[in-house]
Structure 1
Amino acid sequence: MKEGPDIAQLGALIGDPARANMLTALMAGGALTASKLAAEAGVTVQTASSHLKKLESADLLIQRKQGRHRYFALADDDVGALLETMMGLAARRGLTRTRTGPKDPALRKARVCYNHLAGELGVALYDGLLASAMLDEVDGEPVLTEAGRERMMQFGIDLAALETQRRPLCRSCLDWSARRTHLAGSLGQTLLSRFESLGWARREAASRVVHFTERGETELLATFCRQDQNSHGNRSQRIMRDT
């Protein structure tokens, strides 16, 4: 008998179309009721409850109770990163949904990936941080430099509070649409919240889309993506031009 992690069990859990739709709906970073998830999956509430129990028992989801209502959310960053990676692989292999619409370009430009910024602007942010030496990569993972720490504190980020958390401060996440890296971890989440509090961006209700104002996009690029004309800068500029 083979020993080790059971990817077949994990694949079966995520691979069911109804459960996949539920997990995708939760990639917006919020918590949804069983009835809302049932609607997302196109199944009855009773059937949805059965699916949710399986996902919860595998620690892919967590349940939150508020009064008489129960809400479900992705368990942690690992689940969100796995789903984003699977979306990227599906896109690269041509395994895409046939239904497209006006939200598709908006999703590609800026969206929530569980709790942090993804899409073209998310990748441009990551490239800008690297090119300006605010981030470094060690063994393939991002590390905040001293220059980066100074800039983040100037931007109103409480790094001391973030570093008390069990989650990593910086983490790479493969962007499914840009097929490049964007910033996850507690810093990625806090930056997105900061962009919203400054009025630079807002999340679209019941969607993963993040809308940046013209001023907000300009400020984002000026604050974090000011670069010399090097490889990172050129890549970021190409990302911003392409759709």
Structure 2
Amino acid sequence: MMIRKAAMDDKRVILTEVNEAFSAPNSMLDLFLESFHNGEDNITHLLDHLVIVAMDQKAFEKCKSVHHYCYLHEDVGSDLSSENVYMSKAYIDLVWTKVRLWQLILEQGYSFLFTDIDVMWFRDPFRHISVYADLTIATDRFFGNPEDHSNHPNTGIVYAKPTEKNIEVLKYWREARQRFPTTNEQTVYHEIKYELSSKFDLKIQYVSTEYWGNFCQLNKNFTKLATFHPCCLVGLEKKIAQIKIMTEEWKKYKSISLKS
């Protein structure tokens, strides 16, 4: 079983999803994997615990040529292979597949750290996950208190423990889609986060953008950043261009820090 092979000794696994558009040559998949090799503290070993879920056959073939744990998601319904327009039906179908995937992983007894394929890794993001939290979520905007629901969540990075509580939370989250049928999983979470906290006594940790950064609340303090997500940018080409700029800035930072 692939998850068992990829998991760490404590049954943690790293997950991401990719489709044809994001796995094309010199596209997001290549940049994502490259970021581990450019990272600090030898984070390349984390690739041994990464499972890439391909949403179509071409993405699966590309994945197999560059990585050893690739899984073809064969039951996705819509054609999710192209670069889907933000908030189109295909886009919404694509982003909701990950919540179902998370539930399946928890049901098998594994913790997961899910990362969108356009998140660049500079350092180990596990360092910023507190043991108290049931669910840990990145933020678009962070206002100082990691337990405050006024923080703006971003489901581009999510960590969850394999508890019955979390399984029920994900079921509730998925069912809530019926109340908000034309929007994505992140917006639905934002709408129901107070319900989740009260109904399930859910302990949620929101991670500062100082550590899990983005373009919504831009912070380029490379002494602290563990990951960087080009959210608040629309369009694959624009994201790729900005990630390449960010990658070069990171390399310059590393070269200077090694000399000092």
TM-score, structure 1 length as denominator? 0.29
Larger radius of gyration: 1
